[in-house]
Amino acid sequence: MVMEIRPHGKVGAEILGVDLGNLAEADLAGIRAAFADHGVVFFRDQTIDEDAHIAFCRRLGTININRFFAAHPRYPEIALVLKEPEQTTNIGGGWHTDHSYDVEPALGSVLVARELPPQGGATAFASMYAAYDALPADLRALADGARAVHSARHIFGSRNSAYAALREEGDDGRIGNAAAADVLDDVTHPVVITHPLSGKRALYVNPAFTTAIVGLDADESRALLDALYTHALSPEFQEVFHWQPGSVALWDNRSTWHYAHNDYHGHRRELHRITIEGEPLH
User: CB–CB of 156/177 below 8 Å?
Assistant: yes
From the list 13, 41, 60, 91, which residue makes contact with ligand SIN (rule: CB under 6 A)? 91
Q: How far is the CB of 118 from ligand SIN (least distance, A)?
A: 16
- In whole angstroms, how close is the CB of 74 to ligand SIN at the nearest point? 20
CB nearer to ligand SIN: give 81 or 281. Answer: 81
Torsion angle in degrees (nearest 10) through CA of 48, 53, 56, 61: 170
**Quick one: CA torsion of 32, 34, 38, 44, rounded to 10 degrees?**
-100
171 tagged catalytic: no
Distance between CA atoms of residues 268 and 272, nearest Å: 13
Q: Quick one: 91 or 213, whose CB is closer to ligand SIN? A: 91
DSSP string, 135-188: --HHHHHHHTT-EEEE-SHHHHSSSS-TTHHHHHTT--SSB--HHHHHTPPPEE
Q: Which of 38, 201, 258, 269 is catalytic?
A: 258
CB 204 to ligand SIN: min, Å: 17
- How many distinct helices (H) and strands (E) make up the chain? 8, 16
User: Is 250 a binder of ligand SIN (CB under 6 A)?
Assistant: no
| 8 lies in the binding site for ligand SIN (CB under 6 A) | no
Nearer CB in complex with ligand SIN: 146/271: 271
Q: Which stretch binds ligand SIN (CB under 6 A): 48-56, 90-98, 157-165, 203-211?
A: 90-98
Told to check if 273 binds ligand SIN by CB under 6 A, we report yes
Residue placing its CB nearer to ligand SIN in the complex, 9 or 17:
9
Dist CA 147 CA 265 (whole Å):
39
Does 260 engage in binding with ligand SIN (CB under 6 A)? yes
- Percent composition of the chain: helix, strand, coil (DSSP 3-state, to 5): 25, 25, 50
Phi, psi of 32 (to 5 degrees): -60, -45
Query: Is 96 in the active site?
Result: yes
Q: Is 98 a catalytic residue?
A: yes
Q: Which residues of 70-100 are buried (b: 16+ CB within 10 A; e: fewer)?
A: bebeebebbbbbbbeeebebbbbbebbbbbb
99 binds ligand SIN (CB under 6 A): no
Q: Return the residue of 64, 66, 123, 210 that touches ligand SIN, per CB under 6 A.
A: 123
91-99, 133-141, 152-160, 230-238 -> range binding ligand SIN (CB under 6 A): 91-99
CA distance 200 to 194: 6
Give the total of residues touching ligand SIN (CB under 6 A).
10
Residue (30 or 92) nearer to ligand SIN, CB: 92
Q: Does 152 help bind ligand SIN (rule: CB under 6 A)?
A: no
Establish if 258 lies at the interface with ligand SIN (CB under 6 A): yes
Q: How far is CA 236 from the centre of its chain?
A: 19
Residues in touch with ligand SIN (CB under 6 A):
81, 91-92, 98, 111, 123, 258, 260, 271, 273
Catalytic residue IDs: 96, 98, 258, 273
